[in-house]
């Protein structure tokens, strides 16, 4: 494949401590319209260069803009969603495949990942983290305790888990509707690849895309992560006691015209019996139990989620 103007390099900046320690990688702009990551990372790089942060142990690699094409376009995607089907591809078919090959190589060279994102609507900052330790086939894992502690150190008051299980259910629901099939690897993004490669990683959702405070959340989280992992001698503030939510229910858009009912945001409480959405024919969809709204989608296509719902998790930190 001949090079194009979109095949320029990914920039990474690394700071090496002079003592042994863990290797952290921090990503921004996996989705190009989520600018808080590049802004937060730029501030952290400047902190390191100016001495406000001193990396004493291990190393930290910053990738301010993981998807340059989407970032230049100010769009979520270049050719497709980079945070889906994240794996090495010997015969890359699109821009994100080529980016993914480089990012996967970078991720394999590190122990932990902090991937900084934002979202469209109002809502509190939160962290997505992964499964409990297990030897199953969906997402085998052995760093659950360390990953949960890493998620908690970042400073948000809300932690959510359950992504890959619910994505598998979305695939099954699409099949029952006769929609084009998706592979389970479509649910794999940066953190799933990091766990597959033997490390652990979390996704920090800093708040609304265009809220300047989102970059502040990301910047503080980077400082907290470096202190928590011992790369610096800074003492992070005591983390809040976060609510832990298990995302375990999916409301699917089954046909054009299916829609949410009301003005929902991530983090909103949903009471049992409360109206959530309506089918195109007017049939109401109500909550079956007390739960929390996650990622309401006001422009769904058939086979996409109208929203996810979660309940208080039994997991501890």
Tokens of 268: 């909103």
245-312: in CATH 3.90.470.10:
no
Q: Which of 11, 53, 27 is nearest to 203 (CA)?
A: 27
Strand partners, 46: none
Q: Where are the domains of the chain?
A: 13-241, 245-312
Count CB atoms within 10 A of the CB of residue 255: 12
Residue 236: the pLDDT is: 79
Q: How, if at all, do strands 269-270 and 200-208 pair?
A: unpaired
Structure tokens that stand for 152 in this block: 């908690």
The pLDDT of residue 1 is: 46
pTM more than 0.85: yes
Secondary element (H or E) of residue 312 = strand 305-312
* Beta strands, E only, 181-295: 200-208, 243-252, 259-260, 269-270, 275-278, 284-286, 291-294
Say how far apart CA 42 and CA 64 lie, in whole Å: 7
Residue pLDDT tens, the chain, 317 long: 445 556 779 999 999 999 999 999 999 999 999 999 999 999 999 999 999 999 999 999 999 999 999 999 999 999 999 999 999 999 999 999 999 999 999 999 999 999 999 999 899 999 999 999 999 999 999 999 999 999 999 999 999 999 999 999 999 999 999 999 888 889 999 999 999 999 999 999 999 999 999 999 999 999 999 999 999 999 877 877 899 999 999 999 999 999 999 999 999 999 999 999 999 999 999 999 999 999 999 999 999 999 999 999 999 87
At 42-86, the pLDDT tens digits run 999 999 999 999 999 999 999 999 999 999 999 999 999 999 999
pLDDT at 4: 56
CA pair distance 45, 48, nearest whole angstrom: 5
User: How confident is the model at residue 20, as a pLDDT?
Assistant: 98
Provide the pLDDT for residue 196: 97
Class at the top of the CATH hierarchy for domain 13-241: alpha beta
Q: How far apart are CA 287 and CA 294, in angstroms?
A: 13
- Whether the CB-CB separation of 227 and 236 falls below 8 Å is answered with yes
| Closest C-alpha to 276, from 264, 265, 289, 294 | 264
pLDDT at residue number 240: 77
Cβ atoms of residues 248 and 239 within 8 Å: no
């Amino acid at each position: 494949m001949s090079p194009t103007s979109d095949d320029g390099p990914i920039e990474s900046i690394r700071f090496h401590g002079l003592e042994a320690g863990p290797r952290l990688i921090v990503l921004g702009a996996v989705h190009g319209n989520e600018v808080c990551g590049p802004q937060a990372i730029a501030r952290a790089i400047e902190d390191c260069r100016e001495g406000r942060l001193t990396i004493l142990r291990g190393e930290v690699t910053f990738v301010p803009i993981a998807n340059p094409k989407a970032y230049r376009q100010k769009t979520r995607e270049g050719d497709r969603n980079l945070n889906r089907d994240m794996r090495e591809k010997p015969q890359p078919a699109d821009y994100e495949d080529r980016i993914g090959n480089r990012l996967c190589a970078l991720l394999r060279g590190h122990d932990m990942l902090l991937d900084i994102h934002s979202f469209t609507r109002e809502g509190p900052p939160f962290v997505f983290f992964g499964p409990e330790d297990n030897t199953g086939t969906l997402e085998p894992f052995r760093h659950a305790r360390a990953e949960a502690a890493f998620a908690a150190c970042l400073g948000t008051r809300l932690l959510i888990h359950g992504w890959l299980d619910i994505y598998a259910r979305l695939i099954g629901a699409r099949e029952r509707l006769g929609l084009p099939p998706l592979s389970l690897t479509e649910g794999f993004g940066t953190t799933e690849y990091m766990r597959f490669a033997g490390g652990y990683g979390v996704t920090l959702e800093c708040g609304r895309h265009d809220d300047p405070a989102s970059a502040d959340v990301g910047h503080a989280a980077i400082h907290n992560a470096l202190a928590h992992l011992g790369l610096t001698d800074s003492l992070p503030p005591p983390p809040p006691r976060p609510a832990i939510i298990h995302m375990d229910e999916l409301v699917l858009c089954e046909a054009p015209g299916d829609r949410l009912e009301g003005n929902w945001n991530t983090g909103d409480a949903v009471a049992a019996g409360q109206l959530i959405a309506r089918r195109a024919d007017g049939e109401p969809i109500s909550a079956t139990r007390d739960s929390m709204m996650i990622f309401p989608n006001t422009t769904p296509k058939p086979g996409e989620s109208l929203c996810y719902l979660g309940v208080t998790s039994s997991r501890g930190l």
